[in-house]
Chains A and B, each alone.
Chain A
Amino acid sequence: MAIPVIYNFRSVISRWTSAIVAVLGIAGTVGVFVAMLALARGFRATLVSSGSYDNAIVMRAGATSEMMSGISLDNIKVLQDEPGVARTNGDPLVTSEVVVVAPFPLRSTGTDANAQVRGVSPNVLTVRRNIRIVQGRMFRPGLSELIVGRNATNSYSGLSIGNKVRFGGGEWTVVGVFDAGGSAFDSEVWCDAQVLDDVYKRPNNVFQSATVHLSSLDAFQAFKDAVTKDPRLNLDVSREVDYYAKQSQTMTRLISVLGGLVASVMAIGAIFGALNTMYSAVAERSREIAVMRALGFGAIAVVFSFLIEALLISFIGGALGCIAVLPLNGFTTGAMNWQTFSHLAFAFRITPDLLLGGIIFALAMGVMGGLFPAIHAALRPVATTLRSL
C-alpha cells in the first residue's frame, strides 16, 4: 500500500518556505505559458470569427490575401449569376471590396498606427449578417462617410461619430459604429468601395475581393466549382472562415513559438526549483524515509510518495499561475497583422482547455523535478541512513 498522502500534504505545509520557491517558479512559468497561448488563441479567434461558414470570399487566382488580389467589375457581374449565390428580392448578396491601410493616431500612445480601411458595397450588412450598427447609421452610397468598428473607435482618436478625418487625400465623416462580435472587422474602418477607389485614384471598377453570401452552407462546393470552371474567370474561392483562419496562421505561429520558447526557458528554471525543493525535502527527511522503509514500505511506495509530493507542489503552482492570469481573459490588446499591415485589436482568450493545459504543463514540471529526488530517496540504503543520523 502507498504511503498516506496526508504525510506528503502535511510535509509540504510544514516546509512551506522551501516549497514556496518551487510553487512560485512553476506558477510564473504556467502564467507565462497560459498567457502566451491565450494571446495566440485570441489573435486566431479574432480573425477566424471574422468569417462565416455561409460566406465565400473570391480573389484573383494565386492571391494569398486581399492586398495581393484584384477583381474586375465584369468578373463580379459573372460571379453574381453563379449557382449558390443567395439573393434578396432578386438581388445577389455580394459585396465587392477594396482594402487600403491608413494611419490614425492611437488613443493609448498618440502615435500613428495603420488601420485597415475597407471599401464595401452598400449591401454589406446583408452579406455579413453578424455585423450590426450600434451607434449612428450606415454610410450613404457615394458620400465620403465612414462607419468604424467598435475596437477601432476605442483604439484611435478621432474615429468617433461626427468627427471628420483626413486620409487618402480626402476628408471623411464618421457616421456610425458597428459591432462585429469581436472579430477582425471590429478593428476596421468601412466606407463605400466606389468612393474609396475614387479618393485613392485607383482604376475604376477594380476591386480586390468579393464576398458572397451563399444560399446555404452546402452551396459552397457548387459555387466554387462553377467559378473555377468558368473559362471567363481566373479566380480562387475559399470559405470565408478558412480564409481568415489561414490569415491568422503566421501571427499565431509566431506568438506560439515565441511564447513556447519563453515558457521553455522558464520551465527549465522552474524544474531546477522543483528539483532543489525535492532534493532538500529528501535530505531533510532521510530519517523519515529510512523509517518508512524499515517499517516495510517498498522503494516504489517511496518513489510514488515523493512524486505525489512534487505533483502536489506543482499542482498548487500551476493553479496559482492559472488564477494569476485569469484576469487577462478578455483584456484587449493590439498587434500588427502582417497579412494586412494594419493594427489589429484582439482579446486574450483563456479557455478551460488552456487552463487544463497549464495544469498539465505544471504537473509535467513536477514529475521532472520530483522523479530523480524520489528515486534518490528510495535507493538510499536504510541501514546506512539510519546509522548516519
Chain B
Amino acid sequence: MVSVNNNGNSSSLIQVRGLNKTYHRADEQIQVLQGLNLDVDKGDFVAFMGPSGSGKTTLLNLLGGLDVPTAGAISVASDEITHMSSGKLTEWRARHVGFVFQTYNLIPVLTAFQNVELPLLLTRLSKSERRQHVETALSIVGLGNRTRHFPRQLSGGQEQRVAIARAIVSDPTFLLCDEPTGDLDRKSADEIMALIEELVAKHGKTVLMVTHDPVVAARAHTVLHLEKGVLVEGSKSRQSVTAGGVV
C-alpha cells in the first residue's frame, strides 16, 4: 500500500517523514520538497510524475541515498538513512538500491557481463557465484546470449535491459528507475515496462519510478504527482489508461 498522508503503517518498507530539500543558488533559496511524506510497502510499484523541476529526480536521489535532505527522515527496512555518514550511505546503497537511469549509464569499456557484475564486486560472492548471478540476471532480462557484447554493440532497449540486470543482480531491497524509457522508442519502452512489471509481479521487487510519460506511469500500481514540493495521489487508475494515452 502506498500512502502520502503520514498514515502508513509502521511496517512499510520505505517511510518518508517531513522531507525537505532546499537548494541554494547565489542568494536565492529554492525549496524543492516541502514536508513530504510517503509510505511504500514491499512489492509496490510507484510512479512519480510532475512537471520539469518539480523535484521528482531529487526525491529519487534522496530515496537512493545519493543526496541528503535539508530536513526530514527516510527509513528503508528500518534503516534510518538520513543521518548516515557518506561511507555508510555508500555501503547501504550497494546493499539496498538498484538504479536504472534514463540514459542506461552502462560503462562503455565493459561487456554486458562485466557491467552486470559490477555491483557483485562489492559483495563477498566467489567468482563462480558471481558468474551464476550475472547469468541469471541477464537471462531474466532476456539477454543471456549477449554477455560478451559491449554497450555500443547493443540497441538502446538492450542497453536498458543490461542496466536493469545490473540493478537487480545483487537482489536489492528496491529499484529506483529515473525515466527508464525516456530514451527509447515506444516498442522498446513497452518491452522495458513489461520487464519491470514482471520484476514486480513475478519476483516481488519494489519499484519507484520517475516518468514524464503517462502511458508508462499508468503501468505502475500507484501514480503520485509532485506538486509544489508535496506528493499528491493521482486520480487515475491503471484501468483508465490505454496505450494511446490517458482517457
Chain A interface residues toward B at CB < 8 A: 1-4, 6-7, 10-11, 13-14, 287-288, 291-299, 381-383, 386-387, 389
Contacts and interface: CB of A to CB of B under 8 A. Distances in A.
Interface string B3-46: 00000000000000000000000000000000000000000000
B183 to A, nearest CB: 13
B50 to A, nearest CB: 16
21 contacts: A2-B121, A7-B109, A7-B110, A14-B108, A291-B101, A292-B107, A294-B93, A295-B122, A295-B166, A296-B91, A296-B95, A297-B90, A298-B87, A298-B90, A298-B91, A299-B86, A299-B90, A382-B66, A382-B67, A386-B61, A387-B57
B57 A295 contact: no
Contact of B118 (A11, A14, A292, A381): A292
Contacts of A382: 66-67
Given A4-B114, A296-B90, A382-B67, 17 more contacts: A6-B114, A7-B107, A7-B114, A10-B110, A287-B103, A288-B107, A293-B90, A294-B64, A294-B66, A295-B93, A295-B118, A295-B119, A296-B94, A297-B90, A299-B86, A299-B87, A387-B57
Given A291-B101, A296-B91, A1 B109 contact: no
A287 B105 contact: yes
A7 B119 CA distance: 14
B174 interface: no
A296 B93 contact: yes
A381 B66 CA distance: 8
A1 B114 contact: no
B48 interface: no
The 3 closest A-B pairs by CB, nearest first: A296-B94, A10-B109, A383-B67
A293 B166 CA distance: 14
B192 to A, nearest CB: 18
Contacts of B64: 294
Interface string B48-70: 00000000011001001011000
Contacts of A386: 61, 66, 101
A352 to B, nearest CB: 34
Nearest to B110: A7
Contact of B109 (A11, A287, A389): A11
Interface of B: 57-58, 61, 64, 66-67, 86-87, 90-91, 93-95, 99, 101, 103, 105, 107-110, 114, 118-119, 121-122, 166
A291 B93 contact: no
Nearest to A381: B67
B95 to A, nearest CB: 8
A10 B110 CA distance: 8
A13 B114 CA distance: 17
B122 A297 contact: yes
Contacts of A389: 103
Nearest to B176: A294
Contacts of B58: 383
Contacts of B101: 291, 386
Contacts of A291: 99, 101, 105, 107
A242 B95 CA distance: 67
A279 B152 CA distance: 24
A302 to B, nearest CB: 10
B113 to A, nearest CB: 11
B48 to A, nearest CB: 16
A1, A11, A292, A389: which has the most chain B beta carbons within 10 Å? A1
A7 B103 CA distance: 20
Contacts of A14: 108-109
A382 B118 CA distance: 17
Contacts of B61: 383, 386-387
Contacts of A2: 121
Contacts of A10: 109-110
Of residues A6, A13, A298, which shows the largest number of chain B Cβ atoms within 10 Å of its Cβ?
A298
A288 B118 CA distance: 12
A293 B67 CA distance: 12
A386 B93 CA distance: 16
B121 A1 contact: yes
Contacts of A381: 67
Contacts of A287: 103, 105
Contacts of B119: 295-296
Contacts of B99: 291, 294-295
Nearest to A12: B109
Nearest to B57: A387
Contacts of B90: 293, 296-299
Contacts of B166: 295
A3 B110 CA distance: 12
Contacts of B109: 7, 10-11, 13-14
A299 B99 CA distance: 18
Nearest to B68: A383
A293 B105 CA distance: 12
A96 B219 CA distance: 106
Contacts of A297: 90, 94, 118, 122
Contacts of B86: 299
A297 B93 CA distance: 9
B94 A295 contact: yes
A130 to B, nearest CB: 58
A13 B109 CA distance: 9
A387 B114 CA distance: 25
Contacts of B95: 296
A387 B67 CA distance: 11
Contacts of A293: 90
Nearest to B87: A298
